[in-house]
Amino acid sequence: MPSRSASTRPVVLQLPFHGTWIVRNSPARRVPSHGTRAFGASHAIDFVAVQDGRTAPMRDWRTLFAVEPVERFFAFDQPIMAPAGGRVVSVHDGEPDHEARRSQLALIPYALSQVSRARRGARGLAGNHVVLDLSDGGPYLVVAHLRCGTVAVRPGELVAAGQPLGRCGNSGNSTQPHVHLQVMDDLDPSVAVGVPIAFRDYRVRRRDGAVELVGTGVPDNGDIVETVAVSG
């Protein structure tokens, strides 16, 4: 039996940040993109800020053997904007920003705590987040892993595409600062089905070095993207 999202046209969004960000866990590569259809995450996508292809300006012994301060990562505290207009239906703030983990050794205890985060539901997985109703009854857009104390909107508020929602953090189920986007067909993540997404008006640098202007598309893992201003 086909999923409820099988015949759904993609929801077209704009990139929610400035600068250059690398794509992780893209639905262009596989669905479910994050290895699960649970919590409406089948078509979710992650973005990590980069400069010259690097997510942080330095590597040291902590990168190999321990945790790292989130402040050293380019994405941390970068402004995150609404990828589409809609009504704010849910917000959560107050979750701490974890230390970052690039070390395989540091990832072991983190992986062992995955179940406890999942048991906390949206707070444990999405961390500080904003949910927008895109069309008066869904679909619903989730913007997750915001920095603690930076959520800038309230439930009931109407926001326009490009309006600030908060700042990039490392809260919830996150090993280094990044922004997670997903669209789902129900406000209750326990029953929600993921909805396909696409993005408009961006420049992409592919892993093979090719650069392309995209009107509407879905960037793949390893692509580096940035918003392109559209005149007129």
pLDDT band at 61 (very low <50, low <70, confident <90, very high): confident
pLDDT band at 207 (very low <50, low <70, confident <90, very high): confident
List, as one string, the DSSP characters of 154-190. -TT-EE-TT-EEEEB---SS-SSS-EEEEEESSS-TT
The predicted model gives 163-178 an average pLDDT of: 96
The predicted model gives 189-199 an average pLDDT of: 96
Residues 12, 143, 37: CA angle, nearest 5 degrees: 80
Under 8 Å between Cβ of 185 and 138:
yes
Instruction: Report the pLDDT value the prediction gives residue 153, as an integer from 0 to 100.
Output: 98
Fill in the DSSP letter of residue 116: H
The predicted model gives 34-56 an average pLDDT of: 95
pTM above 0.85, yes or no: yes
The answer for 48, left when phi > 0, alpha when psi is -120 to 50, beta otherwise, is beta
15 half-sphere exposure, CB direction, 13 A CA radius: 28
Give the Cβ contact number of residue 60 at 10 Å. Answer: 10
Q: What is the per-residue pLDDT across 67-111, written as a single tens digit (0 to 9) for each?
A: 999 999 999 999 999 999 999 999 999 999 999 998 777 667 777
pLDDT band at 114 (very low <50, low <70, confident <90, very high): low
Asked whether residue 112 carries a pLDDT value surpassing 90, the answer given is no
The predicted model gives 59-63 an average pLDDT of: 81
Backbone angles phi, psi at 196, to 5 degrees: -60, 150
- Euclidean distance between CA atoms 224 and 207, whole angstroms: 8
Lowest mean pLDDT, pick from 57-66, 145-154, 155-164, 216-225: 57-66
Strand 11-13 versus strand 197-205 pairing type: parallel
- Euclidean distance between CA atoms 204 and 188, whole angstroms: 33
Burial class from Cβ neighbours inside 10 Å (0-12, 13-18, 19+) for residue 27 reads buried
Instruction: Report the pLDDT value the prediction gives residue 160, as an integer from 0 to 100.
Output: 98
Q: What is the per-residue pLDDT across 147-158, written as a single tens digit (0 to 9) for each?
A: 999 999 999 999
Instruction: Report the pLDDT value the prediction gives residue 230, as an integer from 0 to 100.
Output: 66
Domains and CATH numbers, the chain: 14-196 (2.70.70.10)
Residues 165, 155, 96: CA angle, nearest 5 degrees: 55
Instruction: Report the pLDDT value the prediction gives residue 231, as an integer from 0 to 100.
Output: 57
Query: What is the pLDDT of the chain when averaged over all its residues?
Result: 91
CA 55, 59, 65, 69 torsion-angle sign: negative
Asked whether residue 43 carries a pLDDT value surpassing 60, the answer given is yes
In whole angstroms, what separates CA 105 from the centre of its chain? 25
Distance between first and last Cα of the chain: 45
- Euclidean distance between CA atoms 164 and 161, whole angstroms: 9
